[in-house]
Chain A
Amino acid sequence: MSWVVLTMLVVPFAAAVTTLFFGHRADVAARGIAVGGSFTTLALASVVAAAHLGDAEPLAEVYVATASTLPPIELAVYVDPLSAVLLILVGVVAFLVQVYSLGYLAGDPRYPSYAALVSIFTGAMVAVVVADDLWVLLVGWELMGACSYFLISHHWELAEARSGAVKAFLMTRTADLGLLFAILVLGERFDSYRISTVMAAVTDQALPRDELWLPAVLVAIAVMGKSAQFPFHTWLPDAMPGPTPISALIHAATMVAAGVFLVARVYPLFLSAPVALTLLALTAAVTMFISALYALVTDDLKRVLAWSTVSQLAYMFGALAVGAWPAAVLLLLAHGAFKALLFLSAGSVVHAVGGSTSMTEMGGLRTKLPDTFATMTIGFAALAGVAPLVGFFAKDAVIAGALEGAQHGRLVWPWVAWLLLVSMVLTALLTVAYSLRAWLLVFFGSVDEADERDVHESPPSMRVPLYLLAVPTVLGGLVVADPAALFGPAYDVELFHVAESIVMTLLVAVAAVVVLLVWRARGRAMWPRVVLPHPPIDRVYELAIVRPVRWLAQLVRAGDRDVIDGYADGAGASARGIGGLLRLAQTGNVQTYLVVVVVGAAAVAVLAGAVA
């Protein structure tokens, strides 16, 4: 089995390299290699995952290790049920995105590099998921950041694509420093960079409470950056100028999901550090609410979905912070399915209306795009938590977990757990509102100009992935019947809670009715903008970081030119000046020279006599 895992790690990168080499010569080759590579990855991932779901023994394998560093850096993999379910998620979403891109990027001259980057992206996420060595994990982790930078700036002619890409890369990379230092600290403390070894040591040694607060907090910071949590939440919506399939990939299965995965992976570390858990809970409580507010008022379809991702990720972190590990992973998987579905169908809508993502230019599309309408409806319903879709079960499990966590708190400040619970319930209502609003604005009502445009349904390569993704979105909730089959006997917990689900369903229904009434009464305007869709914290970053750095850069440039250059030139000039003084003696009159010689000789003789 271990060689299968290794092949699975290598295949996406090999596919990327071959796409880059041959893609520009033949279009068919690029498409074939890209789709074939991602299919191979999916097949290998399924083989690996199928063998490690449930109560199977985890696979741990070290392929290579550096001999002479302490502790060694190893190419090591570890596949347990968590990796297995993530592998399936990544494989499926990546494959569907590649298929979808065939239609979405038909005729794009930059397709080969795009497909290659998607392959690398997939490979990097696979590396993160199966990595057992923290450095391998970091390689995959940052490689994803780089890939997202290139893919977001795919349309580099657009100013917002360029700035969004740079922002995404710099923000996540800054937060990644946390992971770097956490790895250094953990490696030094436990004398190993193996995640399995470190986690076993953390669990077994019963370390004193909060001894490991520093690495845990550092990991939390890295994760907050990668998963776009407050205060790093602004890069994800700004990354929306990238091609829509990329958004699906980033939001559902890779980049931002990696943050949640990492916390789930090093969960013993967090459990031993309540400070980090509290930090996560606070961040999650703030993030989920404000990002839902932003989603409520923005007019851009893709930005609505982006903010909803931020909000849903905050749910997952909230669940992890209060100890509901299976609920968080379940929501991660469910979100992967329905968010991929939502983004791909949003791409279908954007494709149909000619490239605009603004919802003001959409409306009344349900008859023109029947397939997209059907699948996107399922996606929105799952996002809003409508029974019996997968989103409903996952959110129910999370909220029930949060309630339990609030009652038997392990956080430093117990009130944070209650704050989190309140925030979760409020955000669930807001989620219903913004999902319904987006759904109504896109598919209902009528726009005059829509009649004139040639609005048509997408090609089959884009519609088939939608239906394929609708299947897990509808049926995924069945997992709650027996979570142990997925996560192993250690997680044989009750994920379905009758009382909470009834309450939440009632609340969702009330919220939906209210929104529909508002829609009847006010039409497309719906509600006033209580917050601007542009977060004010960006302004703070601009004033506190970007401008001072620019100013310092100019200062340094001037300093090099005027100060450091000055001492170099000054040394040269003073040498020249002294030389000029000495030159005055060279009059050319030989007799003067001789006088100096004679006087000098006499002086030396007198001195010598005096000394002797």
Chain B
Amino acid sequence: MNALVLNGLVAAPVVMAAMAMLVGRRGRAGVGVAAFGGLVVLAWSVWAVVVSTTALDGSHVDVAWVEAVGIRWHLGLDGISAPLVLMSTVVFACALIALVRNAPEGGGTTALAVLLLVIEAGVLGSFLALDLVLFFAFFEVALIPMWFVIDRWGDAHGPRGEALRRRAATRFLVFTVLGSALMLVGFVLVRAEAGTFDIVEIAASYQPSGATALAAAVLVALGLAVKTPLWPLHIWLPDAHSKAPTVGSVVLAAVLLKLGTYGFLRFWLPVVDPGWEWLQPVVAGLAVVGIVYAALACLAQTDLKRLIAYSSVGHMGFVVLAATTFTLGGVQAAVYASVAHGIITGLLFFLVGAVKDRYGTGDLGRLRALYGQVPRLGGLVAFAAMASLGLPGLAGFWGEMLAIRSAVFPDGSLPRETFVLLAVIAAFGVILASAYFLAMIRSAFQSGETGAAPPEPVVRGDVTAWEWLTWSPLVAATLVFGVAPGLLLTPVAEATVAFLGGLR
């Protein structure tokens, strides 16, 4: 795999963003260029995945960047990152195409599309980076444009709408930047212990032991836990997701959260010793608390977008639980659940955004009997909800099942009883997830409990052709990954064995 493919994958969104900006000075053509750019990046990522191997061989890009402190421009693509890269480019392409016909309030859609492309560059760079500091840098590149997206195009309806929107955007930025700062400190400590920022070398030869290594692992975990997010650091998420414009929520949930989970797999597992007594059980415990907590919070939500946002916390809990088990199955589960969550929750946010566009509100107290008014949209929501609650045969199931399996049979050095207990609690979290999705459908799409009339639509009409176009890739992916789990499990396993060595 040559340098052109990998460097180009990071550069392509930036180039397309620049082109969109140039064209966008005159009229709305910029959005079209940006949407085309999304497709170009998607095609490029397919090319990169096709020419790459599932295991990291020597052919990645590796040149000195800041030589004085040993930071290298080190990019590579393997079976762990490839599914996430593909998922991200698909979601970005869908979001950019959706923007062409469905611009959020506030104008300046070209600028929004350009920001999305910049975020895409940061995201792809983070997934490709194999150097701790490079990962951090790309991580920041992905975060900061999101502040503008939420603050400029976010939902400012309701009393004090603008203040709340600003608050959501700022809280998102402050939390995630604080998290990545902690992560950077952790990385520096890792370098002090391991002598390099190169994660491939660290994974191959670093033997974490002692207080400094533990502190480094804790700091990295803290930083990633903010981004993932883990309970109780999740508080930025519901606000940010529910205030962001539809494409912003889609990107935030489907892609940006994956930076955290991917970080756990790529940059946390190698700096952790499974023999440490409390670190992994504590992280796993927080993940499971998050699963149950998020499900309960969903049961009490009154806003569609907040409900979907909280459900993300639960799904990310499964991913982190799987990662902490330190098993091959755990890594498989984490990648699978990440990809599935990206597809399904991306779709859910698109759908909920469409409901909000049509009725001007996401308030569960006011929406009712939508099956009767927009049956196809309702059917799609029901489908996505079923996928999200982990129905076997759809993409959401395998990740959660494998996560539970890896927690029932964790690495030998971990406390088995604790993890089995966590697995059982997590499984009941799945039931709660079913409960809140069914409650959501019952209240908004079937008749409301009071039997009052459905709300007056702002925009009439069921799913449009353009919406079918943007959503169908996600629907198809949900089905494909539901019936063919081997597609993902095999490359992930090969990459994990090559990267982390002797996992169970």
Contact = CB atoms under 8 A, between A and B. Distances in A.
B277 to A, nearest CB: 25
Contact of B300 (A146, A166, A188, A553): A553
B296 A553 contact: yes
A556 B296 contact: yes
A262 to B, nearest CB: 15
Contacts of A149: 438
Interface string A551-576: 01111110010001100100010000
Nearest to B482: A139
A568 B236 contact: yes
B405 interface: yes
Interface string A118-153: 000000000000000001001111110010011001
Contacts of A135: 392, 401
B435 A549 contact: yes
B202 interface: no
A73 B391 contact: no
Interface string A472-490: 0000000000000000000
A105 to B, nearest CB: 16
B493 A68 contact: yes
Interface stretch (A33-41, A174-182, A198-206, A294-302): A174-182
A549 B296 CA distance: 7
Chain A: number of interface residues, binned into ranges: 35 or more
Contact of B427 (A153, A177, A554, A565): A177
A169 B438 CA distance: 9
A612 interface: no
Interface stretch (A47-55, A59-67, A388-396): A59-67
Contact of B485 (A66, A156, A169, A170): A66
Interface in A266-319: none
Of A70, A149, A184, chain B has the most CB atoms within 10 Å of the CB of: A184
Nearest to A556: B296
Contact of A549 (B299, B397, B408, B438): B299
B297 interface: yes
A156 B446 contact: yes
Chain B: number of interface residues, binned into ranges: 35 or more
B438 A68 contact: no
A520 interface: no
Contacts of A557: 296-297, 300-301
Main secondary structure of the interface of B (DSSP, over half): helix
B148 interface: no
A573 to B, nearest CB: 13
Contacts, number: 125
Given A139-B393, A157-B447, A184 B235 contact: no
Given A143-B391, A554-B300, A556-B300, A170 B490 contact: no
Nearest to B435: A170
A142 B405 CA distance: 18
Contact of B393 (A67, A143, A153): A143
Nearest to A158: B447
Contacts of A140: 393
Nearest to A67: B490
Interface in B252-305: 293, 296-301
A135 B492 CA distance: 20
A86 B379 CA distance: 31
A522 interface: no
B371 A177 contact: no
A356 B232 CA distance: 52
Interface string B198-234: 0000000000000000000000000000000000101
A194 interface: no
Given A66-B485, A553-B297, A557-B301, A139 B405 contact: no
Contacts of A251: none
B409 A138 contact: no
Contact of B432 (A70, A153, A180, A549): A549
Contacts of B439: 166
A162 interface: yes
Interface string B471-504: 0000000000000111001101110000000000
B347 to A, nearest CB: 17
Contacts of B401: 135, 180
Nearest to A113: B379
Contact of A66 (B393, B431, B490): B490
A138 B174 CA distance: 44
A549 B300 CA distance: 10
A453 interface: no
B373 interface: no
B490 A560 contact: no
A14 B73 CA distance: 49
B434 interface: yes
Contacts of A146: 386, 391
Interface string A527-560: 0000000000000000000000110111111001
B419 to A, nearest CB: 13
A69 interface: yes
A141 B492 CA distance: 28
B486 A65 contact: yes
Nearest to A141: B392
Nearest to A69: B489
Contacts of A184: 404-405, 408-409
Given A138-B392, A139-B392, A142-B391, A68 B494 contact: yes
Contact of A156 (B171, B409, B432, B447): B447
A138 B482 CA distance: 13
B366 interface: no
B416 interface: no
A141 B424 CA distance: 20
B382 interface: yes
A173 interface: yes
Contact of B299 (A70, A180, A553): A553
B392 A143 contact: yes
Interface string B233-248: 0111010000000000
Contacts of B296: 549, 552-553, 555-557
The 7 closest A-B pairs by CB, nearest first: A68-B493, A66-B486, A553-B299, A156-B446, A557-B300, A553-B300, A139-B392
17 contacts: A64-B486, A65-B486, A67-B486, A68-B490, A113-B379, A142-B393, A156-B445, A166-B439, A169-B438, A173-B434, A177-B427, A181-B408, A550-B299, A553-B297, A553-B299, A555-B296, A568-B175
Interface of B: 171, 174-175, 232, 234-236, 238, 293, 296-301, 328-329, 332, 369, 371, 375, 379, 382, 386, 391-393, 397, 401-402, 404-405, 408-409, 424, 427-428, 430-432, 434-435, 438-439, 442, 445-447, 449, 484-486, 489-490, 492-494
Given A135-B392, A181-B408, 17 more contacts: A64-B484, A65-B486, A66-B485, A139-B392, A139-B397, A140-B393, A143-B393, A149-B438, A156-B371, A184-B404, A553-B298, A556-B293, A556-B300, A557-B301, A568-B171, A568-B235, A568-B236
